[in-house]
């Protein structure tokens, strides 16, 4: 596991009305601070990545469909420099993944339906000076291939 990454297994409560799952609480050890919450989606087969942040933590959870969330640790002083983590998250694996600053991340929709991702971030988005640094998902120095792996 990449240093600073944490996983929280979500407890999903079901009844005849539907489902409820708490994603993140301020009184949990995984919580750092609150900045903003947003939703993003991806259509089947679409890759959204790579990017990283210098200040903010991201908390990813997929609430519809399934995604492959991939992390790459390029931090110079990290004990896990060069490590790659893959997480398959969504309706079949309801988890929350905390991504620390300076860890590249991206995701690919691996379900046959649009995936909906909820991201809680520790800093509000600043359009004038975004804390977001992007690289192309395919043309980069990250040793990862987004193509499907058939074992």
Two structure tokens written together for 111: 């379900």
Q: What does the alpha-carbon distance between residue 143 and residue 69 come to, in Å, rounded to a whole number? A: 15
Could you give the CA distance from residue 60 to residue 58 in angstroms, rounded to a whole number?
6
Q: Which two tokens stand for residue 123?
A: 């800093």
Segment 73-80 mean pLDDT: 97
DSSP 102: T
CATH classification (class only), 6-12+34-124? mainly beta
Q: Which of 11-15, 40-44, 145-149 has the least mean pLDDT?
A: 145-149
Q: What integer pLDDT is reported at residue 149 of this predicted model? A: 84
Query: In the prediction, which pLDDT does 104 show?
Result: 98
**Alpha-carbon distance 49 to 38, whole Å?**
16
Domain ranges of the chain: 6-12+34-124
Q: In the predicted model, is pLDDT for residue 75 greater than 90?
A: yes
Can you give the pTM of this predicted structure? 0.94
Confidence bin at 151 (pLDDT 50/70/90):
confident
Neighbours of 106 (CB within 10 A): 22
Is-cis flag, bond preceding 101, omega within 30? no
């Amino acid at each position: 596991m990449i240093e600073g990454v944490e996983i929280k297994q979500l407890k999903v409560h079901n009844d005849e009305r539907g489902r409820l799952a708490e994603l993140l609480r301020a009184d949990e050890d995984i919580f750092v601070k609150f900045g903003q919450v947003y939703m993003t989606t991806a259509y089947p087969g679409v890759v959204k990545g790579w990017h990283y942040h210098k200040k903010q933590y991201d908390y990813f959870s997929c609430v519809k469909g399934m995604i492959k969330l991939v992390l790459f640790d390029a931090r110079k002083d990290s004990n896990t420099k060069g490590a790659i983590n893959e997480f398959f998250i969504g309706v079949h694996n309801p988890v929350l993944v905390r991504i620390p600053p300076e860890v590249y991340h991206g995701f690919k929709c691996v379900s046959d339906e649009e995936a909906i991702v909820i991201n809680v971030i520790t800093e509000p988005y600043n359009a004038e000076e975004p804390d977001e640094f992007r690289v192309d998902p395919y043309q980069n120095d990250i040793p990862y291939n987004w193509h499907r792996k058939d074992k």
